[in-house]
Chains A and B, each alone.
Chain A
Amino acid sequence: MTRNHSTAISNRLTLLVATRKGAWLFHGDAQRRAWRVDGPHFLGHIINHLVLDPRDGRTLLASAKTGHLGPTIFRSTDLGQSWQEATQPPAFAPAVNGMEARAVDHTFWLTPGPADEAEVWYAGTSPQGLFRSNDGGNTWAPFSCINDDAQYRKWMGSVQDGTPDGPKLHSIIVDPRDSKHLYFAMSGGGVHESLDGGASFAPLVKGMEVVASFDPAEIAFHDPHCVRLCPSNPDRLYQQNHCGIYRLDRPSDRWIRIGNAMPKAVGDIGFPMVVHPRDDNTAWVFPMDGTKVWPRTSPDGRPSVYGTADGGASWQRLDNGLPQSQAWWTVKRQAMTADRQDAVGLYFGTTSGELWASRDAGRQWECIARHLPEIYAVEAVELA
């Protein structure tokens, strides 16, 4: 592996790695065996998400902040050789209707718009907010009514109700068949759907469980960790939740807990959810220990991906090449992904700064980078 800041254009696979202390690009060779590292970019910045625009295969957006400085978005049109800051990053409107004023702490999630809306991007923030850019990520504005809707603010709860480093709006999904059909999820605050281009949203939580003794009818108690739509079947969604793994087949509005088929000793708690690019029965998760005090480590110190090839009816442990004991890291919700190669590659980054890859859908793993900062997000992309 060589360290290089060059930005030679390649149509090969590149991994975009966002970490607590900067971002890295790992350019793969044709066999996905050797990886050339380009970075760090934004050394010392907290990068929650680094995303390629699939519509041009060249534009990158990075959500950034530092320990001291406020949140912003950087944009590159030359694959990271140079970066321009957004002139108007996501920011909440002034307080209205007597509700508490909020300030964006960080942009957590970035989603490119659909193919027929070339300059559109969506962003989810902490605390929970939904934003949209119509100019390729240069200027951002609050999107939809939810940011300052009294009911949604109640469902969002307070900072104390969210995840340890702040409540988050994430998993912004645009139906590839209909750009007015949108989903997003909140930790906490449930899964939500719009059929009218974001003019209105409604909860989509039937079948989802909440922590024991709480009422699942209360949207605020729902904590989806990651929701993914199957590219090969946009009517099928998978979800990794604080309380299990689920599948939803539209037009049904009821999630089915497919995590019940996971081994009881491992459980079905985790952060990431990954779907196959061409097979809607195949998906992968990365379980973590969600028992007792919620260690959020690999169960029993033995990390493993679990995969299903039958829509969640059964799961297979996929840990060849991974540590077999005393490995206490885990994988955050944006830090595991799949590529689109014929033999699907899987990739994940760990809380301990290791980057792992599999060229055969998880059957064999190898570590391709160590000693990075805590990894927040990994995206596998094909550059133009």
Chain B
Amino acid sequence: MKVLIPSALDSYTGQSQVEAVGATLADVLADLDRHYPGIRFRMIDEQEQIRRHIRIFFDGEQIRDLTLPLCASGELIIAQALSGG
């Protein structure tokens, strides 16, 4: 699926849009980390929580559950919350 990467993380990906695969948000983030080592921990803490100032949207809806099933044709947007600036 298409994943939009915030500018704060493009030092990992080198681009603002990448492709990743996975049946759930956790799977997609794991796939991202395989291709861009270290990127997941900057977004997800060691207790499997989305970090305080990171927001994730799938097809326009904010999601917080890493186990949520995702459709391969959808669009995942990772964003920096204004609160973290």
Per-residue CB proximity of A84-117 to B under 8 Å, as 1/0?
0111010111110000011110000000000000
**Which residues of chain B are near A85, meaning CB under 8 Å?**
37-38
Most buried by B among A69, A89, A92: A69
What is the distance, in angstroms, from B49's C-beta to the closest C-beta of chain A? Answer: 7
B46 touches A66 (CB 8 A): no
Contact status of A103 and B53, CB under 8 A, knowing A68-B81, A68-B84: no
Chain B residues within an 8 Å CB radius of A298: none
Is A57 positioned at the interface, with any CB of B under 8 Å from its CB? Answer: no
Which residues in A have their C-beta under 8 angstroms from that of B44?
A: 70
Does B73 sit within 8 A of A, measured CB to CB? no
Interface size class of A (residues with CB under 8 A): 10 to 19
Tell me whether A69 and B49 are in contact (CB under 8 A): no
Return chain B residues, CB-CB under 8 Å to A87: 37-38
CB neighbours (8 Å) of A68 from chain B are: 6, 8, 51, 53-54, 80-81, 84-85
Q: Is the CB of A69 within 8 A of B85?
A: no
Q: Tell me the complex Cα distance, A85–B12, Å.
A: 10
- Pairwise interchain contact A70-B47, C-beta atoms closer than 8 A: no
A67 within 8 A of B: yes
Tell me the bound Cα distance from A63 to B8 in angstroms: 17
**Complex contact B85–A70 (CB within 8 A):** no
- Which residues of B sit under 8 angstroms from A94, Cβ to Cβ? 46-47
Q: B2-47: which have CB < 8 Å to A?
A: 6, 8-9, 37-38, 41-47
> How near does chain A come to B73, taking the closest CB pair, in angstroms?
28
Residue on A with the closest CB to B6?
A: A68
Tell whether, in the assembled complex, residue A67 and residue B84 are in contact, meaning their CB atoms are under 8 Å apart: yes
Q: How large is the interface on B (under 10, 10 to 19, 20 to 34, 35 or more residues)?
A: 20 to 34
> Which residues of chain A come closer than 8 Å to B8, judged between CB atoms?
66, 68-69
Q: Which residues of B contact A67 (CB under 8 A)?
A: 53, 80, 84-85
Interface presence of A19 (CB below 8 A):
no
Q: Could you say which residues of chain B place their CB within 8 Å of the CB of A104?
A: 45-46
Contacts of B9 in A (CB 8 A): 69
Any chain B CB within 8 A of the CB of A72?
A: yes
Which of B6, B37, B42 contacts A70, CB < 8 Å? Answer: B42
Q: Is the CB of A91 within 8 A of B46?
A: yes
The CA-CA distance from A316 to B22 in the complex, in Å, is 65
Closest to A93 in B: B46
Q: Please indicate which of the listed interface residues B37, B42, B43, B53 has the most CB atoms of chain A within 10 Å of its own CB.
A: B42
Minimum CB distance partner of A84 in chain B = B38
CB–CB B42/A103 < 8 A: no
A92 to B49, CA, bound (A): 13
CA A102 – CA B46 in complex, angstroms?
A: 8
What distance in Å separates the Cβ of B45 from its nearest Cβ neighbour in chain A? 4
- Which positions 63-85 of chain B face chain A at CB distance < 8 Å? 80-81, 84-85
With both beta carbons as reference points, the residue of chain A lying nearest to B40 in the complex is identified as A70
Would A89 and B80 be within 8 Å (CB), given that A68-B54, A101-B47 are in contact? no
CA distance A362 to B53 in the complex (A): 42
Top 4 A-B pairs, shortest CB-CB distance: A103-B45, A91-B46, A68-B84, A67-B84
Chain B interface residues toward A at CB < 8 A: 6, 8-9, 37-38, 41-47, 49, 51, 53-54, 80-81, 84-85
What would 5 more interface pairs be, CB under 8 Å, given A92-B47, A103-B49?
A68-B8, A69-B54, A85-B37, A91-B45, A102-B47
User: Chain A: residues with CB nearer than 8 A to chain B?
Assistant: 66-70, 72, 85-87, 89, 91-95, 101-104
Q: List 24 A-B contacts (CB under 8 A).
A: A66-B8, A67-B53, A67-B85, A68-B6, A68-B8, A68-B51, A68-B80, A68-B81, A69-B9, A69-B43, A69-B54, A70-B41, A70-B45, A72-B41, A91-B41, A91-B45, A93-B46, A94-B46, A94-B47, A101-B47, A102-B47, A103-B47, A103-B49, A104-B46
